[in-house]
Amino acid sequence: MGTQKAINVLFRNLIILAFLFAMSNTIQGHGATHFNHAASLPLHDVNQFQHMTHNATLQPALSPWMAVLILYGTMFLMLGAQTALFLWKQRHKRSYELVTLIGLWLMPSLFSWHLNFWRFLSVWSLYSCITLYLLYCCTRPQLDVSMPRTVYSWFLGMHRACVVCGVVGYALLIFEVLGAGVMARHGRQPRIGMAMDLLWYGVYFGVLGRDAAEVASMCMVSSLSRRMNLRVNDCGVCGAELGDYSHLGDKDTVTETSVQLSCKHCFHDLCIRGWTIVGKKDMCPVCQEKVDLKSLYVDRPWETRNLTWIQMLDGVRYLVVWNPMIFSVMSLMFHIFTPHPATTPGAATHGQIRTSKHAM
């Protein structure tokens, strides 16, 4: 298993290297495109464009050894960051997940505040208030009997809502890309922004909800582990009495479906599904025995697709949290090692002199 993960990391690093080399080849032809852009400018913007190009000519040229140093420094940074994150996750998984959760929770909100995305900030604030309150309740010394059921009901409901938003957003995006949306609207404004919003909300809150649910699960595990003297008709997650006694042979009174695992412990259907799907737990809450999730959803094959959705969400965590940090370090490195344009009095007044000549 460890070898397979190492191969996946190496393959991802090779893709990043190929992308960097492709970008370096693309940048070589960018200068001609930049200067040819002057032909499409209006007449009153020509002077401003000449002023910009004149300042660009005053910028000192980048020496070949510095260009090579920056290229290899970028490659080393990308490979080093990937390797460091992989080793950190392998050796200190708890701290890695905690730091990732904090970054996942705060990073998009900071960017949204800077870019004035108030709608996302409103949804994020409402979600954060409810989730933080539930996490606070999970850390209380005396855990209420109904609290595990309330927590998993909230996270499972949010998980299903995120799946719906993600699927609808992805379908609308494909609908727009294929051109069917233009024919359906007859010239109205495109709605690709709504598709991207739904897809972003579904993916982001899906990842954040699963990580927060795992923290809630860890907080409640200590309290649940002390309930080893449960009766045979008590739920192993919430501790409440089971309303379904079919596992005991009584099929007359059925209020809520109960599930019996291979270890013979019984749970409410909603409780055990919240524990396994949302809380990312593949073990019994009581005896810590491994549970086969495929056998748990054998009677509901449509819910097994959630497992594929969960695996896809894990890849988003890297893009949201660690990519902005890596590119921020790269930007700082470019700012330090690349030469800056010189500011001279002649360069500052070059555009004004040329403008006065045209005025005369």
pLDDT in tens, 301-348: 445 455 565 666 667 777 777 777 777 777 777 777 666 655 544 444
- Check residue 125 and give its pLDDT: 94
- In the chain, the percentage of residues whose pLDDT exceeds 90 is 4
- Answer with the residue of higher pLDDT: 208 or 328: 208
Which amino acid is residue 87, in one-letter code? L
Domain layout of the chain by residue ranges: 1-25+63-91, 95-226+305-360, 228-299
- Check residue 126 and give its pLDDT: 94
**Angstrom distances, CA of residue 23 to CA of 5, 17, 26, 29:** 27, 10, 5, 11
- Check residue 122 and give its pLDDT: 93
Determine which of 55-69, 94-108, 213-227 has the lowest per-residue pLDDT on average. 55-69
- In the chain, the percentage of residues whose pLDDT exceeds 70 is 53
Annotate 290-337 with three-state secondary structure. ECCHHHHCCCCHHHHHHHHHHHHHHHHHHHHHHHHHHHHHHHHHHHHH
Token look-up 């995006």 returns 173
Token look-up 């109904």 returns 146
- Check residue 314 and give its pLDDT: 67
pLDDT in tens, 17-75: 554 444 444 444 444 444 444 444 454 554 555 555 555 455 556 667 777 777 777 78
Three-state DSSP class for 267? strand
Determine which of 28-32, 109-113, 150-154, 263-267 has the lowest per-residue pLDDT on average. 28-32
- Check residue 41 and give its pLDDT: 47
- Check residue 123 and give its pLDDT: 93
Question: 26: exposed, middle or buried (C-beta count within 10 Å: 0-12, 13-18, 19+)?
Answer: exposed
- CATH superfamily name and code, 228-299: Zinc/RING finger domain, C3HC4 (zinc finger) (3.30.40.10)
CA 214 to chain centre: 16
- Check residue 121 and give its pLDDT: 92
- Asked whether the predicted pLDDT for residue 124 surpasses 90, the reply is yes
- Check residue 349 and give its pLDDT: 43
- Check residue 31 and give its pLDDT: 43
- Check residue 182 and give its pLDDT: 56
- Check residue 308 and give its pLDDT: 61
